[in-house]
Amino acid sequence: MIERHPLTPFLPENARVLFLGSFPPQRKRWCMEFYYPNFINDHWRLEGEVFFGDRNHFVCAEAKTFNVEAIKAFCQTKGLAFYDTACAVRRLKDNASDQFLEVVEATDIRALLRHLPHCRAIATTGQKATDTLCRYFSIPEPPKVGASLPIPDIFNADGHQLLLYRLPSSSRAYPLSFSKKAEAYRAMFQALQIPYGASANTP
């Protein structure tokens, strides 16, 4: 069975970075109606750690969910956009693993970027997303995890060439410590001049 993407792209006009995963997990694994909805995925804990020094900043522990309204307001303020590299997939097994995800229709990433005139970078958050994006932009060799490279012939409205950042997956199955993942996120935000940490003016 082919699944269509269940979420609308989240594209704040002030976005400086576009996060692209592979595809949302099955709805039975969701705890909220937004990106990275699985409660045991650490994406929002990483954002909380980097920007607020508290991995549980967005966590509603008793309800085992995330504060989705706080997350959306935060992303609007910081200029963080979200979608995925596939808009239609077929699951080859009944699980959330990218390994068993067949991309039926790749996302038109250029169409997303037309809504993001100030975007400076695309951040992929997993191997499947990175591979799909590299095929889309004809990038022969992806950057190493935690590194970046220029995306050929892709510029924003301000004349800056967009970068591809390959971030470590926020899945707990990915064999890297939480602190090392946070370092990779922090390095990207610093390079893109997105204020973070206790001194940043965040909601």
Establish if 52 belongs to a structural domain.
no
Q: Give residue 202's pLDDT.
A: 41
pLDDT tens digit sequence for 152-176: 999 999 999 999 999 999 999 999 9
Amino acid at 158: D
Of 14, 23, 188, the residue nearest 97 (C-alpha): 23
Establish if 56 belongs to a structural domain.
no
Percent of the chain whose predicted confidence (pLDDT) is above 90: 90
Mean pLDDT of 7-22: 97
User: Does residue 46 have a pLDDT over 50?
Assistant: yes
Establish if 65 belongs to a structural domain.
no
Establish if 46 belongs to a structural domain.
no
User: Does residue 203 have a pLDDT over 60?
Assistant: no
pLDDT band at 94 (very low <50, low <70, confident <90, very high): confident
Residue spans of alpha helices (H) in 79-167:
109-113, 127-136
Q: Give residue 171's pLDDT.
A: 94
Crossing angle between the packed helical segments 68-78 and 43-52, to the nearest 10 degrees: 60
Kindly provide the residue ranges of all beta strands, DSSP E only, lying in the chain, ordered along the sequence: 2-4, 17-21, 59-60, 65-66, 80-84, 86-91, 101-106, 121-124, 148-155, 161-166
Q: Could you tell me the sign of the dihedral formed by the alpha carbons of 8, 172, 138, 146, in that order?
A: positive
Q: In this structure, what DSSP letter does residue 7 have?
A: S
Task: Kindly report the pTM of this predicted structure.
Answer: 0.93
Establish if 127 belongs to a structural domain.
yes
Q: In this structure, what DSSP letter does residue 169 have?
A: P
Range of the domain at 19: 2-29+80-191
Mean pLDDT of 70-77: 98
Establish if 133 belongs to a structural domain.
yes
Contact between 1 and 90 under an 8 Å Cβ cutoff? The reply is yes
Establish if 163 belongs to a structural domain.
yes
Contact between 96 and 38 under an 8 Å Cβ cutoff? The reply is yes
Token code pair at residue 74:
């935060």
| Domain count for the chain | 1
Q: How far apart are CA 11 and CA 116, in angstroms?
A: 7
Q: Give residue 198's pLDDT.
A: 54
Q: How far apart are CA 157 and CA 74, in angstroms?
A: 24
pLDDT tens digit sequence for 119-157: 999 999 999 999 999 999 999 999 999 999 999 999 999
Residue whose entry in the numeric block shows the structure tokens 């995800």: 101
Q: Give residue 92's pLDDT.
A: 86
Mean pLDDT of 45-51: 97
Report the CATH number that the domain containing residue 88 is assigned in CATH.
Answer: 3.40.470.10
To the nearest 10°, report the CA torsion of 173, 175, 180, 183. Answer: -60
Establish if 66 belongs to a structural domain.
no
